[in-house]
Amino acid sequence: MQSPIVEFPLRTWQASIEPAMQKQAFETLEGGGVLYFPQLGFDLQDEEKRFLSPSWSDGKSKNIYLRGKERNLRGFAGSEDDALALAALIERYASNAGQLLNGLFPAYAGSMDMSNTSLRPVEAAGRTQSWRHDDSRLHTDAFPSKPTHGRRILRVFCNINPVGKPRQWRVGEPFADMARRFLPRLPPYRPWMARAMYALGITKSRRSEYDHIMLHLHDAQKADAFYQKNAPQVAMPFPPGSTWICFSDQVLHAVMGGQYLLEQTLHLPVAALIEPNHSPLGVLQEMLDRVLI
Ligand code: SIN
Ligand code: FE
């Protein structure tokens, strides 16, 4: 397997980026790779270092995050002043991530929709959870209550661990190879069920056939122990002081360990892509020879 991880030498979030690097950036991203910035870190001010502790978590959510457009701090337990200080840190990261994306992907300008920004203070290794929620199994992101109708999930991660601990990922085979393997095993889409789930409030909009397939691909990858162990994959320890970007609905990823990560989620319509046929929607429609949304 060709390495899906491509290094970029940027050292600042606000760099002005040459067209040649912008081209390499979009080809890597839309081609299902991970853009890796080994020298791009995020600095905490001295008085912010106290936030590097899992004790700020409310214990219910594994992440502390600023939610979508409303920007309320969720998953946090602490005083009002502490909440304001931590929200400022997370917001500063969101702003840096946005500037980096604008520099790298001018073609997406105006189409990227900022969603949640999270701090992940809990050690990722050894978290006990059901297989479906276990992110130490390779998977592509898809969420049961949130149909996307093909809209992309773009994520910017930065390891801010203060004691040298890497964020250990595994990155799997290309999306199309995974889809080819699992598509024949998926249950059929039932439009009446999608309508019922929406009417009952189980999903936030009607689950399209695309969403049905993406959700079942997520589950099929995680449920298959043989696949987890034997499928083509690379181990990637992202060190502290590094940043990486990928379409997490396309890149097969798993987190094996690490603590203190910042993460920005954005959404991007398929129409904004330069090569929409490389997207999960494009690949699945081509394989199944029909429209899925
Ligand atoms: C995931 O997106 O599955 C987890 C990534 C991480 O927390 O490192
Ligand atoms: Fe994930």
In the chain, beta strands by DSSP E: 5-7, 34-37, 64-66, 73-74, 113-120, 152-159, 167-172, 233-238, 243-247, 253-257, 261-268
Q: What is the CATH number of the domain that holds 206?
A: 2.60.120
Q: Give me the chain's average pLDDT, please.
A: 97
Report if residue 21 sits inside a domain: yes
Residue at 222 is within a domain: yes
45-76 pLDDT, tens digit per residue, is 999 999 999 999 998 888 999 999 999 999 99
- Total domains in the fold of the chain: 1
Q: Are 266 and 101 in contact (CB under 8 A)?
A: yes
135 lines ligand 1 (CB under 6 A): yes
Q: Distances in Å between the alpha carbon of 252 and those of 29, 37, 48, 54, 265? A: 13, 19, 33, 27, 16
Q: Give the C-alpha distances (Å, rounded to integers) separating 284 from 17, 108, 231, 280.
A: 33, 23, 20, 6
| Least confident window among 52-56, 116-120, 129-133, 235-239 | 129-133
**pLDDT higher than 80, residue 1:** no
The answer as to whether 293 is a domain residue is no
The residue contributing the CA closest to ligand 1 atom 6 is: 255
Mean pLDDT value across residues 23-38: 98
The Cα 104–Cα 111 span in angstroms is 14
Write down the pLDDT at residue 127: 83
In a domain, 95, yes or no: yes
Residue 126: name the closest of 115, 135, 113, 114 by CA.
Answer: 135
Whole-model pTM above 0.95?
yes
Tell me, yes or no, whether 119 lies in a domain: yes
Residue 248 lies in a domain: yes
pLDDT for residue 2 is more than 90:
no
Task: Report the nearest atom of ligand 1 relative to the CA of 258.
Answer: 8
The reply to whether 250 falls in a domain is yes
Residue 130: give the domain boundaries. 5-288
Whether 197 is in a domain gets the answer: yes
> How far is the C-alpha of 43 from the C-alpha of 40, rounded, in Å?
10
